[in-house]
Structure 1
Amino acid sequence: MKNSLPDHERAVWYLKTEGAKTVKALANSMDITVEGARFHLMKLEKEGLVKSESVAEGRGRPKQLWSLTQKGHNRFPNAHADLTVDLIDMMRQTLGQEALDQVIAANESRTLERYQEELEGVEEVEKRVKKLAEIRSNEGYMAEYEESGDGFLLVENHCPICDAAEVCQGFCRAELSIFREVLGEDVEVNREEHIIKGARRCAYKISVLD
């Protein structure tokens, strides 16, 4: 997908999925010249989509790192954010927290069933993680995975329900529960980074048990 985007949009994509970068690092990711990367960053800065800051790392000149502003993050869809938040608040006020919890549990059950169907017959742990990342990407989470220590790291670079999760963290609890269920009893799944707690991404450590 990213390779089909215009260069300035690709720059936004890389800053979203890989985090803050120097001009040179961004140029390497995009496979363009440093001058070209700088041109795109200047354009994006004028649009309010990126910002830069100087970061000191030991001796020598500070590095200038570029990252997305909130406006830049908002370029990625947050599914019906305002409506969802309003509905959550209305349900909590009119029906109570218990009713809201029941709705979240019902959604968790339905999602779990759907994921189990899509993962049916996939036995190898890595293939299950890969398939789960594909499912989540198709749902807008910009998910990917990589090998990490004794297992894998499942990364979600975007959360399309972030606003809803901020006002009702039951969604995040349900998400972790679903991952643990569909990936099986032979792995341990723990959330190590969390967008709504200020991290750039959500990241799940998946350890293969002996």
Structure 2
Amino acid sequence: MTLKTRGPQSVAVIAKAMDVTAEAVRQQMARLHADGLVDSESRSAGRGRPTQIWFLTEAGHARFPDTHAEMTVQMIGAVRQVFGEEGVDKLIQVREAAMLGSYREAMRGANSLKGRLERLAEVRSAEGYMAELRKDGADFLFIENHCPICSAAKACMGFCRSELELFNKVLGDEVVVEREEHILTGARRCAYRVRKRGPAARS
């Protein structure tokens, strides 16, 4: 979980985050490495000995849920075969509309942008996205450390476009949401910059 949510880490950093000894972490990494779930590389930060940095392998990432992946991909293929791309687009639109209604209901009473983002993180985490919110200067970073529909998104990029549009709609016209990191392009997570729209942009 630490490697999934925080990315590649050294034994010392993992030990501090988990409040255990470095030796306990080394033993755990050895077991996970033997199972093919983690790997490591040496990184140099100037003088001194290189630091061993551990990260999840593809098999390690696969241990986190990908909701009904095989069946979902098969269903997308069937819809595409029977109804064409228009049918797939319609499926995505219906899904987006249903999620928009559900998310807006969850945000009822959250008047600030921070409050709405916190509610959104709660909802998305419950759906398996392992979402978190961070402040970044005047902006917010909305981070999803896992994608439970990754297989479906690979089969149809429309799901990713739809979710970005969904975030923009549910957070309101006064903000702009931009994707900065994307799991499908090789990033370890999806990250969205959320900023308030300036006067020029509104006009």
Q: Normalised by the shorter chain, which TM-score bucket?
A: over 0.9
**Aligned position for 2:117:** 129
Greater Cα offset, 114-123 or 100-109 = 114-123
TM-score normalised over the length of structure 1: 0.91
What do you get for the CA RMSD once the two structures are aligned? 1.1
**Aligned position for 1:193:** 181
Distance 1:53 1:156 in 2: 25
2:162 to 174, 199, 202: 174
- Displacement over 6 Å in runs of 4+: none
Report the 3-state secondary structure (helix = DSSP H, G, I; strand = E; otherwise coil) of the residue aligned with 1:102: helix
Q: Are 1:101 and 2:89 matched, yes or no?
A: yes
Distance 1:208 1:95 in 2: 40
Counting only pairs closer than 5 Å after superposition, residues 50-129 of structure 1 correspond to structure 2 as 50-129=38-117
Distance 1:76 1:204 in 2: 21
Which runs of 5 or more residues in structure 2 are unaligned?
199-203
Distance 1:183 1:60 in 2: 47
Per-residue deviation, residues 57-93 of structure 1 (Å, max 9, x unmatched): 3343322110011111111100010111111112112
Amino acid at match of 2:25: A
Per-residue deviation, residues 165-197 of structure 1 (Å, max 9, x unmatched): 011011111101110111112211100000011
TM-score normalised over the length of structure 2: 0.94
Per-residue deviation, residues 136-155 of structure 1 (Å, max 9, x unmatched): 00000000001111121110
Identity of matched residues, %: 49
**Aligned position for 2:137:** 149
Which runs of 5 or more residues in structure 1 are unaligned?
1-12
**Aligned position for 1:184:** 172
**Aligned position for 1:46:** 34
Per-residue deviation, residues 73-131 of structure 1 (Å, max 9, x unmatched): 11110001011111111211221001110111111111101111111221111000000
Aligned pair count reads 198
Distance 1:95 1:179 in 2: 28
Report the 3-state secondary structure (helix = DSSP H, G, I; strand = E; otherwise coil) of the residue aligned with 2:184: helix
Distance 1:36 1:59 in 2: 27
Amino acid at match of 2:148: P
